């Protein structure tokens, strides 16, 4: 099994992600610079958090045009598994792989804290080891995490069961995201973006290992496919 982690100028969670995949799960990982193309033998592609290109213009807007993204889009369109965390989620939306957009947090401030989340769809490769409505404790760290989509788009998310993760309630919502949405997938379920950082909650020493369950789901799904 082999994962690829894409690094953009300004990424700052790529090594955290590499540590979890390689050290916690012992999965071979390649760090892919944004000017490179993907090779054809990855089981999953991960887009990490950070501030790609300094968040100039808006988060993820410039990274979407990095050379690597053409092959990431092709990989996803062919059914490859893609996980975008925080800035990675923002890039996936800018690239058109996920619907919606991110606004600045309602309080206009950077928010960094643990929040309670609830699984709303456990029928995805990224959540199959979790129970529907299960509560997770995972940190967020962002200033533009206020997920927005118009009424028609929101209806489509609901009809297609694409809302994977929500903040538990209004008081746990750190940014004003519409209907407390914290993570969504595409219709085919092979692309998943979320604002919380599961890689920062994958060992007990970090106050929570709840994020580990997302990686466990992804790896289990891939192993099932191999068998």
Residue 48 CB partners (closer than 8 Å, separation 6+)? 5, 6, 7, 11, 12, 13, 14, 16, 17, 85, 86, 87, 88, 199
In the three-class reduction of DSSP (H, G, I as helix; E, B as strand; rest coil), residue 13 is classed as coil
- Beta strands 81-85 and 44-47: pairing type? parallel
How far apart CA 48 and CA 13 sit, in angstroms, is 6
Determine whether 185 is an active site residue. no
Task: Name which of 113, 109, 120, 117 is nearest 146 in CA terms.
Answer: 109
Determine whether 13 is an active site residue. no
Annotated catalytic residue, options 34, 86, 114, 172? 86
Annotated catalytic residue, options 94, 144, 172, 199? 199
How far apart CA 206 and CA 160 sit, in angstroms, is 34
How far apart CA 198 and CA 83 sit, in angstroms, is 11
Annotated catalytic residue, options 34, 114, 142, 197? 197
Residue owning tokens 């219709």:
187
Contact 98, 193 (CB under 8 A): yes
Residue owning tokens 């309670």:
116
**Could you write out the DSSP letters of every residue in 157-192?**
HHHTT-EEEEESSTTT-SS--GGGEEEEE-TTS-EE
So which residues are the catalytic ones? Answer: 86, 197, 199
């Amino acid at each position: 099994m082999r994962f690829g982690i894409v690094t953009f100028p300004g990424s700052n969670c790529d090594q955290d992600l590499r540590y979890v995949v390689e050290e916690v799960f012992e999965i071979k990982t390649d760090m892919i610079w944004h000017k490179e193309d993907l090779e054809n033998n990855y089981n999953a592609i991960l887009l990490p958090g950070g501030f790609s290109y300094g968040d100039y213009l808006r988060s993820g807007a410039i990274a979407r045009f990095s050379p690597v993204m053409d092959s990431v889009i092709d990989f996803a369109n062919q059914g490859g598994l893609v996980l975008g965390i925080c800035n990675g989620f923002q890039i996936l939306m800018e690239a058109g792989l996920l619907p919606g957009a991110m606004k600045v947090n309602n309080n206009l401030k950077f928010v960094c804290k643990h929040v309670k989340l609830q699984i709303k769809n456990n029928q995805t490769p990224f959540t199959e080891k979790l129970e529907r409505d299960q509560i997770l404790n995972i940190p967020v760290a962002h200033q533009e995490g206020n997920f927005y989509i118009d009424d028609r788009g929101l209806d489509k998310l609901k009809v297609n069961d694409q809302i994977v993760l929500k903040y538990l309630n209004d008081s746990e919502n750190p940014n004003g995201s519409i209907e407390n949405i914290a993570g969504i997938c595409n219709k085919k379920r092979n692309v998943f973006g979320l604002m919380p950082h599961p890689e920062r909650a994958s060992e007990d020493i970090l106050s929570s290992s709840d994020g580990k369950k997302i990686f466990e789901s992804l790896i289990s799904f891939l192993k099932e496919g191999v068998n």
